[in-house]
A and B are shown apart, each in its own frame.
Chain A
Amino acid sequence: MTQSLDRLKESPSQTAGPYVHIGLTPNFCGIGGVYASDLGSTMVNEQSKGERIDLRIRVLDGTGKPLKDALVEIWQADANGLYNSPAELRGAADPNFLGWGRQPTDTETGICLFRTIKPGRVPFSDGRLMAPHITLWIVARGINIGLHTRLYFSDEEEANAEDPILARIEHRVRVPTLIAERQGDTYVFDVHLQGEKETVFFDS
């Protein structure tokens, strides 16, 4: 026998289910009057610093059909590469940009749109810079544990080429699954849950 490590285990995940909107975007699903607005629905205001961009995201199942009941959250640095978080010790982030957003996929088209700013570069643990990226967290009916992936930008080829996380991906043919295509001021990003084009998901 040894001493006990005296640790607890993380609560196991369970699916967000088909009615996730009731809890996380109640106004979106017609439950008005409980909260003034849905949390995370607006990310930028007039004072937010940085280049305004739109993200047009879909989540596709194993048959290529967009999920119409998913919920996507994003988390990103500000235009200077600083996170608006107490664990950010390098400096103060833009007070007009929280860096977190939440959108349900549209119940008809499966599209979710984020209006945000393009993030700056954030250092990796060894000091090298990561390419600009946005963290995605996806939940839905049928997803037992929230999926973690990243959105990188098609017009950041040089930075992407030296990104330490993208460099981790052994099967290089999968790297483009993480790169959103720029169309004007909009980046288009399809997340494939399965199949040949399955998006790279992370365990971190």
Chain B
Amino acid sequence: MPEPGSNRTPETGAFFQRDRQWHPPAFTPAYKSSVLRSPQKALIAFDNTLSELTGPVFGHAMLGELDNDLIHNFARAGESAIGERIIVHGRVLDERGRGVPGVLLEFWQANAGGRYRHKKDGYLAPLDPNFGGCGRAITAEDGGYAFRTVRPGPYPWPNGPNDWRPAHIHFSVFGHGFAQRLITQMYFEGDPLIRRCPIVGGIADKAAIEALIAALDMQSTIPMDALAYKFDIVLRGRRSTLFENRLEGN
């Protein structure tokens, strides 16, 4: 069976091991919620089995017309969400630099005032009746995706006495194997709150933080309509199976 949305033969090699020094560790005490929710014992490591090499596939048919348009997918007819109109686009690549087709991306965010449509969010910034805050897309043959939204506002949160999240959009990503499953956040170029954020600060390597900051992309803006930010996402690469250990007899 070809890969979803592709004529390529599926690859079945194990995924590159995860660089746990690159990711934030489980225990990052400056982000207080992690203190009681972080495993303390060593992870048990093993090379991928079929249970990690395989993963569910989602077809383009599941998408609704407005799924990648957060400005309109919750709005009343003829109305639209309030805020700075932006396009977020980019590619999903693997660590070998190849575009990954058929990737389900789900995104969610606060509204332009920094308020989430969620009963647990009590921030005094108002809800926008025309903004729900969720969307999704599936990557094309080259790994490309795009959606339209409003730029989310920064907001205060109860961690330190005066902590503010930088403006961000959450991304959930399904690759081709369940071992590639990833949730991350996209930040915006130039936001002075990024370096002050205890959640971002859980990442030790400055280059890793920069990998989560989308660049303003003037060439992709729509003049007189929307600014654009480019955000590429990288999933674990897959080992070549050319010289993979074979089962006995093969």
Residues of A at under 8 Å CB distance from B? 6-24, 26, 29-31, 33-36, 39, 61-63, 67, 69, 73, 75, 77, 83-89, 98-100, 122-127, 130, 133, 135, 137, 139-148, 150, 165, 168-169, 174, 193-194, 198-204
Contacts and interface: CB of A to CB of B under 8 A. Distances in A.
Summarize A's interface: helix, strand, loop or mixed: loop
A122 B10 contact: no
A12 B213 CA distance: 11
Given A61-B36, A144-B25, A85 B44 contact: no
A203 B44 CA distance: 6
Interface of B: 1-4, 10-12, 16-20, 22-26, 28, 31, 33-41, 43-58, 62, 64, 66-67, 73-74, 93-97, 106-108, 116-121, 132-136, 170, 172-173, 176-179, 181-185, 199-200, 202-203, 207-209, 211-212, 233-237, 245, 247-248
Contact of A144 (B19, B95, B202): B202
Contact of A11 (B50, B117, B176, B235): B235
B124 to A, nearest CB: 17
Contacts of A62: 35-37
Contact of A87 (B55, B58, B108): B55
Contacts of B39: 147, 193-194, 198-199, 201
A16 B234 contact: no
A202 B46 contact: yes
B51 A142 contact: no
A161 B235 CA distance: 34
A202 B120 contact: no
Given A31-B117, A98-B56, A14 B46 contact: no
A84 B176 CA distance: 12
28 contacts: A8-B234, A10-B18, A14-B184, A14-B200, A19-B170, A20-B170, A22-B133, A23-B172, A24-B172, A31-B117, A34-B64, A34-B134, A61-B36, A83-B54, A86-B1, A122-B51, A130-B51, A133-B51, A135-B178, A144-B23, A144-B202, A145-B23, A150-B51, A193-B36, A194-B38, A198-B41, A203-B44, A204-B49
